[in-house]
Amino acid sequence: MAGPISWQLATVTAIRDETPTVRSLTLRLPTWSGHRPGQHVDLRLTAEDGYSVERSYSIASEPERADVVEITVERIDDGEVSPFLDDVVVVGDRIELRGPIGGYFVWEAPLGGPLLLVAGGSGVVPLMAMLRHRSHAGAPVSARLLCSSRHFEEIIYREELDHLVSNADGLKVFHTLTRSQPPGWSGFARRIDERMLAEVLEPFGISARAYLCGPTALVETAANVLVRLGMPPDRVRTERFGPSGT
């Protein structure tokens, strides 16, 4: 049996704004055995009087970066933790953390591909760890990311994704903007549906490995469509957040 996953004290070494409501924190860890892309960490925040809360965050960074993990936090206005991480935390602060956690929603280069990634909003975070890892490992795996955001300004990692695509190493990124589109927008402009997924999946066919992360409704829709298109359910891995909407 594995030893306990212990709490450790991480130091915030960098903070980067991703969108007006999303920012990334780089956390340096005293002891980190490494993680697999797709895994998450637990954070624990404790007030002066001992009041304490825990939350899970997907790891955004690739395992090739030693001794640090990066998390990307979307500010939920009525949330208890994300406004603190987005407004109060500064470089040099220390936060309790433990991990890595989770062993199913993971992709590593030896698993191969082709890789179909589908993200809704901040669901792109664990998928970004996979793409960063793929790039660092020089993995010759074709990959396609379909990313759903509400507005252009809300696309997380937009410039870095553009940069990864410009490496011309077999990655294609598709964006869909569901609420508003800038003038001259050439991407998709609707919620993810069967026609869109079929178009993105087409060159891969049902041999792809699919990883879906986002709000429940989006993931539920996309997973059902992929199975209907003929993908074996055990090649469709999902991570969902938010209420069921039912």
Partner 1 sequence: MTERFVTRGFEGRRGPKDAGQADVASRIPPGQYLTTDFPVLSAGPTPRTPLDRWSFSMDGLVHQPVGWTWESFLALPSRDWTVDISCVTKWTKLDMRWRGVSVDTLFEHVDLDPTAAFAIAWSDGGYTTNLPLEDILNGQAFVAFEYDGKPLSPEHGGPARLVVPGRYFWKSAKWVRGLRIQSRDEPGFWESLGYHNRGDQWLEERYSGD
Interface with partner 1 includes 109 (CB under 8 A)?
no
Interface with partner 1 includes 75 (CB under 8 A)?
no
Q: Which is nearer to partner 1, 9 or 111 (CB)?
A: 9
Selected from 84, 109, 187, 194, the binder of partner 1 by CB under 8 A is: 84
Number of residues that this document lists for the chain: 246
**Geometric angle at alpha carbon 59, from 55 and 65, rounded to 5°:** 140
The count of chain residues that interact with partner 1, using the rule CB under 8 A, is 52
Structure tokens that stand for 229 in this block: 């298109």
Q: Which is nearer to partner 1, 68 or 227 (CB)?
A: 227
Interface with partner 1 includes 138 (CB under 8 A)?
no
Interface with partner 1 includes 125 (CB under 8 A)?
no
Q: Which is nearer to partner 1, 173 or 223 (CB)?
A: 223
Interface with partner 1 includes 77 (CB under 8 A)?
no
Alpha-helical regions (H) of 59-209: 82-83, 124-137, 158-166, 194-201
Q: Spell out the residues 6+ positions from residue 209 whose beta carbon is closer than 8 angstroms to its own.
A: 107, 111, 112, 113, 114, 115, 116, 235, 237
- How large is the angle between the packed helices 216-228 and 194-201, nearest 10 degrees? 60
Interface with partner 1 includes 157 (CB under 8 A)?
no
Interface with partner 1 includes 66 (CB under 8 A)?
no
Which amino acid is residue 167, in one-letter code?
N
Interface with partner 1 includes 168 (CB under 8 A)?
no
Selected from 38, 63, 102, 113, the binder of partner 1 by CB under 8 A is: 102
For CA atoms 130, 99, 54, 85, the dihedral sign is negative
Helix (H, G, I), strand (E, B) or coil at 1: coil
Residues contributing to the site for partner 1 (CB under 8 A) = 1-9, 44-48, 50-56, 80, 84, 88-89, 93-96, 101-105, 216, 220, 223-224, 226-227, 233-234, 236-244, 246
